[in-house]
Amino acid sequence: MTLEDFFKQNTRVALGFSGGVDSSYLLWAALRYALSVQPYYIKTPFQPQFEYEDAMNLCKKLGAELKVIEYDILSDVSVAENPSDRCYHCKKALFTLLKSRAAKDGFDTVLDGTNFSDDISDRPGYAALKELSVCSPLRECGLTKDKIRELSKEAGLFTWDKPAYACLATRIPTGRKIENVLLEKVEICENYLMKCGFSDFRVRLYGGGARLQLKESQFALLAEKRLEITAFMKQYFDPVLLDLEGR
């Protein structure tokens, strides 16, 4: 099955849109092949501001109206307590909300951007999507991450080479309660590191401090800027550690 075939069978669709590589290409395809598509962005403390801005910019470039739903995901205790299956509870809450909003807007079919490369055995959130009958057309059509990047570049989408980005909640160790102040500190530090020239990295909580996961190819940049980075990050985390295994 191709995406064109999928949208011939599913002509009116709602899309859980993140502004990442996968959902951006899926939106482009839906705008091209479906009769009607409505992208929704659920804005929670788990998404950094740059992801929201990317989602808005991509929709603007494609001429799609993005509907934004604000939701305090930490009001859900099963998410805030951060159990090992947190992602399941989070996805279930978010897509239950999205399905309800989409139905009110006249859309019965809801999509997400799971692709064929995603290891669903390691993604409890995918089980929640299946329980809610959310469709994953990229996966159904056998489109891998690499292929989606290739097709996105051909389509002129600025997201084609965007690094994969897991939500901010993944920076907090399982079992440690997720609090807004922790998410805000992580986002501030990751934004700073982006401005320093780093990409595809993580700032993970480690005790009272933070552990940096960088690509080994960027260790030299860290060494060059070590003092200024340490001084900045120590405003929020102490100690600041480097994961020598790299990312």
Residue 172 lies in a domain: no
How much is the pLDDT for 3? 97
Number of CB atoms found within 10 A of residue 5's CB: 13
101 and 8 inside one domain: yes
Residue 169 lies in a domain: no
How much is the pLDDT for 94? 97
Residue 216 lies in a domain: yes
105 and 48 inside one domain: yes
65 and 184 inside one domain: no
Residue 173 lies in a domain: no
Q: What three-state secondary structure class fits 242?
A: strand
CATH number at residue 22: 3.40.50.620
Q: What's the number of domains the chain is made of?
A: 2
Residue 142 lies in a domain: yes
Which DSSP string corresponds to 112-136? ----TTS-GGG-HHHHHHHHTT-B-
Last residue of a domain, one of 133, 161, 189: 161
Cα–Cα distance measured from residue 139 to residue 189, given in angstroms and rounded to the nearest whole number: 34
| Kind plus residue range of the DSSP H or E element containing 109 | strand 109-111
CATH number at residue 226: 3.30.70
Give residue-wise pLDDT tens across range 173-208: 999 999 999 999 999 999 999 999 999 999 999 988
Listed as ranges, residues in the chain with pLDDT below 70 are none
146 and 192 inside one domain: no
Residue 136 lies in a domain: yes
Domain extent at residue 152 = 3-161
Residue 167 lies in a domain: no
Give residue-wise pLDDT tens across range 7-24: 999 999 999 999 999 999
CB 73 within 8 A of CB 93: yes
Burial of 98 (0-12, 13-18, 19+ CB in 10 A): buried
145 and 79 inside one domain: yes
Last residue of a domain, one of 128, 161, 194: 161
Residue 24 lies in a domain: yes
204 and 129 inside one domain: no
How much is the pLDDT for 171? 97
132 and 88 inside one domain: yes
